[in-house]
Every structure is written in structure tokens, then in C-alpha cells.
Amino acid sequence: MKLSLNSQIFLGALLGVLLGLGFARLGPASDITRNGTYVCGLLGELFIDVLKMVLVPLVFTSIACGVANLRQHEQMHRVWTTTLGFFVLSMVLSILVGLSAANIFEPGKGLNLDLFHDAMSHFDVKQMSLPEFISKFIHGLFVNPFAALAQANVLAIVIFALLLGIALVLGGERYRNILVLLQEGLELILQMVGWIMRLAPIGIMALLAQLVANQNTELLGSLAQFVVVVLGSILLHGFVLLPLVLYLITGKKPLQFFRGAREALVTAFATSSSSATLPVTLRCAEQHLHVKPEIAGFVIPLGATLNMDGTALYEAAAALFVANLAGVELNLVQQFIVLFTSMMAAIGAPGIPSAGMVTMVLVLQSVGLPVEAIAVLLPIDRLLDTFRTMVNVEGDMIGSLVVQKLVSRKP
């Protein structure tokens, strides 16, 4: 009997967790754990490397072709506005969930910031004001395309490919050959993504084994209340609210969606990187969820860097957690500032592991909270990153389905 790829991936994930628990049980001093985590580290990195290998050509060709095809159908404007509108609204919804949960359960109230003094005093943060952050973000949009391609700067590649796609359509017949070349290039890369997916079960097993083996359970215990509040609200947003929005707008049943999206969700969970998962996300959206390539090719790569529901929720909840630790009460206006800056911080965070941690400086600073407190959250970040990345990627796939539905309606 031959197992389907989906079942293999699930089996891989399960085995990875069991293996990780085994390593953790044997302890870091044991030879088996040392060698085992070394091999798992190698295999996991290899899987991420091959995904990253196809990422840049995939983003470039899929956006350029997607835009070129949209323009031909004169839908570009509606797709743009609906996509950005969906991104903003879904992030606001997720932040509201995070803020409400943090207000109700007040994680960190009993704890004291002094307890973490040691960790914080060794932590060096770069200050970053909101205007500085915004100007850095805007400067990052328009970059020499060769530099952007070489540095895998996804957002800058998206912008350049977008302009190229528009120029291709305006140029019409004259540049037909270039468009055909890009289209065929895209097909070839997707073919390679198909091969890479065969490695997914092993890659995911290795990544999860290493993650579980390296968890610091002691620290998890002391921050348990915060971890539960964040995970609970991320799961509520990802498994109840987002599917509900999807169902109300498109009529697609949640189970049907998760069946089509699971390869990407598990990959996002294991890699903690929306960018590395992008090839898989695109494949799921087009092949399993039947989003038209021109819509998926536009919404998914853009969403991988801009649309991060999980990250936005986390940043807001973490700000309230730090406020509780510091014994500061944030009023409604301050919480509104947290909402806004959390969204900016999530938009500005690249789709790589722990990126949200870096941009959180912005949120804490905006309401005068001690930025060094990030040190308290660092040890549990790897675990929380898995869930928030999964919901980030889920939001992109739901976004592509919603946009497809809304632009297909007659105005």
C-alpha cells in the first residue's frame, strides 16, 4: 500500500515529535541525543535550503505572470484593493482577539519583571522609532532587482515583478516572447516544487524532532499562562474565526479548506518561515484549493511578507504581557496604539523565523514599555513561532480564496 503525500507528512510530523521527546528524555549529554539532533539539524536545514532555492525564481515568475494575466482580464485594480483590504481587516481582527484575551486573562500579572533581571541585563536592543521604522520599510520596497534577487528580499522582488508584469501587458504583443518565457519558467519551477515535496515528510520530521528536543520546559512552566493565552487566541483565530470568514464569504467548508491546505500548514509549523513555505503554499492554493494561478500568484507571495495574522496577534498580546510584568496599566488609547503598531510590526516583519521578535521593539517602544523585556520572551519564541507562522500562512491561503470570490462577483 502506498501512502499519500499528505499522510506521509503527518506521519513524519508525528514521528518527529516522538523522536524529539525521546531525545529530550535521554538528555543533552547522551550520545544518541547529540548525534540524533545533529543529523536532524542537517536534514531539516537541507529541506529549508531546497525550499529557499526555488523561492526567488518562483516569486518572481509567479507575480510577473499573475499580474500580466490579471491585466489582460482588466481585474488588476479590484484584486489589488480587495487583497490589501483583506490583509488589513484580518490582521485587525486577529489583534483584537489577542488584545481581548490578554485583557481578560491578564497574563504576567502575578509575576515581576525583577525576576527576569538577569536575562534582561544581558540583552542588547536596537532602538527603533515608528517614523524610522516606516521610512526603513518604504526604502526597502524599491531595490535594485539584482540585489533583491541575490539577497532573496521577497518584498522588493514582489514590487519589481509587479511593475514588470504591468509593463509586459502595456507592451502587448511586442513582449509576448518574454511573457511566454516567464510562464514556462514558472511551470518548470513548479515541477521542481513537486519533487521537493517528496522530501517534505523527512524534512518535517527532522525539524520537529530538533524543535521538541531543544525545548526548555522549565521556562515554559513559568511563562505557562502567557503561552496558553497566546496559543489559545492564535488557535481561536486560525481554527474558528478565519474559517468562519472564509465560509461566510465563499461558502467553502472549513474541513474542505484544511484538507487542501494541510501540506502548507504543517510545513509552516515545522519551518517557522512563511517565505520558506511559500512554494508549498502556492502549490496548495492552486492545486488543492483551486485558486486561479493569476490570483494565487499575486495574493500568496504578497501575503507571505505582508499578511501575518499570527504575528500581529502575538505582538499585541506580548505587549500587554510585558505591561503586566512591568506593573503598567495600558489605557484604551494606548491599546489602540498597540493595535496600530502591532499591525505595522507584522507587515514589516519578513517571513523568517523569529522575525516578529525583532519588530516587537517597535510595539513596546510605542507605549513606553521596557524593550529589554523581549529577553524574557526569547526562550519561548521558537515554540510560539511555529503556531503563528502556521496561522500567517493559513491567512494567505484564505485571502486568495476570498479575493478570488469577491473579484469574480459582478460590481
Q: CB 331 → ligand ASP: shortest distance, Å?
A: 27
Query: 165 vs 348, which CB is nearer to ligand ASP?
Result: 348
Pick from 8, 276, 326: which is nearest to 152 by CA? 276
Smaller CB distance to ligand ASP: residue 238 or 353? 353
**Which of the residues 291 through 320 are near ligand ASP (CB under 6 A)?**
308, 311
Q: Please say which residue, 182 or 371, places its beta carbon nearer to ligand ASP.
A: 371
Site map (CB under 6 A) of ligand ASP, residues 266-295, x = contact: ------xxx---------------------
Which part of the chain contacts ligand ASP (CB under 6 A), choosing from 132-140, 188-196, 324-332, 349-357? 349-357
Q: Which residue from 114, 263, 266 is spatially nearest to 197, judged by alpha carbons? A: 263
Shortest Å, Cβ 43 to ligand ASP: 20
How many residues make contact with ligand ASP (CB under 6 A)? 16
Q: Tell me which residues in 367-386 interact with ligand ASP (CB under 6 A).
A: 385
Which residue number, 22 or 140, has a Cβ lying nearer to ligand ASP? 140
Tell the burial category of 22 from Cβ atoms under 10 Å away from its Cβ (0-12, 13-18, 19+).
middle
For ligand ASP, the closer CB: 109 or 136: 136
Q: How far apart are CA 135 and CA 24, in angstroms?
A: 44
The rounded distance, in Å, linking the Cα atoms of 122 and 119 is: 6
Determine if 348 is a binding residue for ligand ASP (CB under 6 A). Answer: no
Please report whether residue 356 would count as binding ligand ASP according to CB under 6 A: yes
Stretch that binds ligand ASP, among 109-117, 145-153, 337-345, 347-355 (CB under 6 A): 347-355
**Which CB, 273 or 341, lies closer to ligand ASP?**
273
- Does residue 351 belong to the site contacting ligand ASP (CB under 6 A)? yes
Q: Residues interacting with ligand ASP, by CB under 6 A?
A: 272-274, 308, 311, 349, 351-356, 385, 388-389, 392
